[in-house]
Structure formats: C-alpha cells, structure tokens
Amino acid sequence: MGTFTKLLLASLGIVFLAVQWTLPSLHAESLKGARVLVTGASTGIGEQIAYHYARFGAQIVITARREHVLQQVAEKCLSLGAQKALYITADMAGESDPDKVVSFALDKLGGLDYLVLNHIGRSPFSMWEGDVEHTQWLMKVNFFSYLQMASKALAPLEQSKGSLVVVSSVLGKMSSPFVAPYTSTKFALNGFFGALQLELTMKRSNVSISICTLGLIDTESAMEKIRGVTNVPAYPATEAALKIITAGATRQPEVFYPWFTYFASISKDLFPSTSNYFMRNSFNYNP
C-alpha cells in the first residue's frame, strides 16, 4: 500500500471518527408514547427493533407473515413496557397489503411518528442462474412495497414531524457474489430514498429519512445461509436495532453499522480492483 493511500485512509478515518463523535445522542424519553410501525418484525433485526421501542415505552404496530410469531413478539413487547403492542399479518408481495398495514397502524395509533421499513423476502444464497421471475418478486417485496408504504405514510409523518427509517445494506453500496437479486433491491432502495431525502429537504418537509447501511448481522436466517461459505464476521442484531432506532430518533440521514461498512462502501469507488479482489476472495467457492 502506497504512502498516498495510507494517508488518504488515515484522513478518512479521522473524518469519520470526528463525525461519529459529534452525532446527536438518543434521548430515551423522546420515544415514550411514540407511535411506531415496524415491518419484518417477527424475527431478526425487526424483532429486536420492536423490543427496543417497547423498552422506551412506545406504542408499536408490528407486521410480518406469521401470525403466531407476531403474537409472541407483541406479548413480549407489552411485558417490556410498550404502551401498546399490536400486530397485523401481511404479505408484502401482495398488491394491497402494504397499504393495508399503514392504514391499520394509523387507525389503531391515531397517527404515526416512525415508520421503520425493515422487511425482506427470502432469496437463495447462490450464483444467479437466470431466474428473472424470482428477481421480479424480490424487487416487489424488498423495494416496491417500501415505496408503497412510504407513499401512504408521508402525509401523516408530515403532520407529526416524523421519521421514515429505511433498513438497507452495505450490499446496496457494493456488489457481492451469491446475492445478485438481493443486492439489486438494496441498490434500488439507496437510490430512491437518497433522492427522496433531497426532494423533501428542498421542499422543507417536516419528514426526515434515515438510511441504515448494515453489514452482516447475526440473524438466524443470515447465519444459516453463510455457514461454511465465508468467514466475514457477523454483528449483533440487538446492537444494529438500537443504531437504527437512534438514527430515526435523531434524524440522521445515514448511519453505518458496524463502523467499517462506511469504509467498505467508499473503497468500491476509491479502489475498485482491490475491493473486488477482497469481495471475490471472501467466499469459499470452487466451480
């Protein structure tokens, strides 16, 4: 590594740490009674998001596909201190379900302060073999349903000066093998909601958008997919969930977790060949 590259990375590191040091801190009391809708909340990151909001005393609506699991999560939220914990089942590939969920939350909570879009559809961890139909379905679940719910929620969020929180991935910043359909949906999310951020700012909207860029998180589904395939470290879902909540509550436009995902993101543009080399060699693969 040349001297210039070392100096550049060191400078970027200093800037990143300085920015992190000056970020606003979360005031737990600001979330007491907050009206929150969390998608993909039956397991993983979404489940942990719901539990954190519950501990802060929020009013929560959660959604996913499996009713019996949602019921268990809602009951635990109440035991943790949520003022309300309601659930509604939904299939985000359906034409009407995204709208139905937002309408349910608005009706039961009387408004909305936070919309946390976190759900994803199942996708194989494998080389793409030309399955266009699956990619179209995944784009519907992981991208178009986000747009549909955001569209429905923008007016009530405007009234409450609320926050729209989008859970994305470092794979929406840089490509990776084995997850081409998933990566395409996250690139789409970053592009659309990044543009919407700018538009809302130009219109002096009351709504903030926080885009959360996550690395590998230790959810059960993620660990099952990568077992024996890669040694990339995974980070706790409960910590990721708290970062996501903090981003929305403090109206940060973008947050990275874990911290090195920021450098992974910018390395793709600064050092594309090196970035691609490390990405290719992060997996155990023999053709």
Residues assigned a catalytic role: 182
Q: Parallel, antiparallel, or unpaired: how do β-strands 163-169 and 35-39 relate?
A: unpaired
Q: At what angle do helices 145-160 and 180-202 cross, to 10 degrees?
A: 30
The shares of helix, strand and coil residues in the chain, as percent rounded to the nearest 5, are 55, 15, 30
Q: Alpha-carbon dihedral of residues 182, 187, 192, 197, nearest 10 degrees?
A: 120
Q: Are 150 and 210 in contact (CB under 8 A)?
A: no
Concatenated DSSP letters of 181-219: HHHHHHHHHHHHHHHHHHHHHHTT-S-EEEEEEE--B--
Amino acid residing at 181:
P
Burial of 98 (0-12, 13-18, 19+ CB in 10 A): buried
User: ω into residue 124 within 30 of 0, thus cis?
Assistant: no
Q: Is the dihedral of CA 33, 169, 286, 281 positive or negative?
A: negative
H or E segment to which residue 127 belongs: none
Contacts of 22 by beta carbon, 8 Å cutoff, 6+ apart = none
DSSP string, 146-183: HHHHHHHHHHHHHHHT-EEEEEEEGGGTS--TT-HHHH
Residue 261 tokens read as 């995902």
